[in-house]
Amino acid sequence: MVEHHMVDVNGIRLHIAEEGDGPLVVLLHGFPESWHSWHRQFGPLSDAGFRVVAPDQRGYGRSDRPDAVDAYTILHLVGDVVGLVQALGEKKAYVVGHDWGAPVAWHTALLRPDMVLGVAGLSVPPPFRGTRPPLTEMDKRFGGRFYWNYFNRPGVADAEFAKDTRAALRKLVYSASGDAPDADERKQPLVDPERGWVATMPDPDVLPEWFTEDDLDQLTESFSKGFTGALNWYRNIDRNWELTAPWHGAVVTSPALYVYGDRDAVPAFPGTPELIAKLPELMPNLWREPLKLAGCGHWTQQERPNEVNTALIDFLRANP
């Protein structure tokens, strides 16, 4: 059974879900998600002999939501993972992340390799710091319409998503899934400057089988206090670029696994397909070539739980 606790970590309180005994596996969700996005991983991973913990990361769900925008930098987020591992009485852990959780997982392995037994990222590949601030670069490339830049405008996306939280989340999840009508085109996520983002997204009459009404209910409840804390992660993208300058050119050396869907728009972001193709030569301990899941959109572990669980268990067992 999954148990729930509050844990004091890095100056804040985090809500965590936990199941199983054995080596610790920390599962880190992305946007707009919560610990619940991993609910199909708890049973299989705990049955395979692992202690599985998924937090609501800072700004999400039942965890604390600091007011300051600059309280959501990558250093704070890695600090939360390090503090969580220590608060759970462990010295080392496997770290797995999806979407925004993947950069947190990758950077935890990059900054604290002594604590990371292995690292897996879903959707977002390992970080290779570019020569220009990302928000600035995307602003120039797409005329301010890229969703990162839209999210960077204080209060704007916050208000759009909060107007009808359940409908916004339903459309966000469906539009980025492999079930969306244009998923195979993997279009860049650009925002209509007049209508906003959610208004342009398809709204399904029936949810996909892997995302039930109960899943949507739980996700909606997790955003009952708004979206600002979660969106503040995006408002630190250029600040993260500045803060990680000391690690420019560094690579993740922990055993690593990367999994993505062939209908996910994120691996099609500018420059990302070329990076994914080079990962086997760029990363010394990439456990296998990047695993591409056919027909899978952005919500990797939810859309393809069986394939993801098998890949994770094989990876964890191969890197004790």
Annotated catalytic residues are 99, 298
Among the listed residues 292, 294, 296, the one whose alpha carbon sits nearest the alpha carbon of residue 311: 292
Q: DSSP labels for 43-102?
A: HHHHHTT-EEEEE--TTSTTS---S-GGGSSHHHHHHHHHHHHHHTT-S-EEEEEETTHH
Tokens of 82: 């390090």
Instruction: Collapse the DSSP code of 260 into the 3-class scheme (helix H, G, I; strand E, B; otherwise coil) and give the result.
Output: strand
**Side chain identity at residue 212, one-letter code:** T
- d(CA 58, CA 122) in angstroms, rounded, equals 20
- Helix, strand, coil percentages for the chain (3-state, nearest 5): 45, 15, 40
Tokens of 284: 């010394």
Please say whether the dihedral angle defined by the alpha carbons of residues 242, 246, 249 and 253, taken in this order, is positive or negative.
negative
Instruction: Collapse the DSSP code of 217 into the 3-class scheme (helix H, G, I; strand E, B; otherwise coil) and give the result.
Output: helix
Contact between residue 135 and residue 152 where contact means Cβ atoms under 8 Å apart: yes
- d(CA 60, CA 111) in angstroms, rounded, equals 23
DSSP category for residue 206: S
- d(CA 21, CA 162) in angstroms, rounded, equals 38
Contact between residue 318 and residue 290 where contact means Cβ atoms under 8 Å apart: no
Residue 114 Cα to chain centre, angstroms: 22
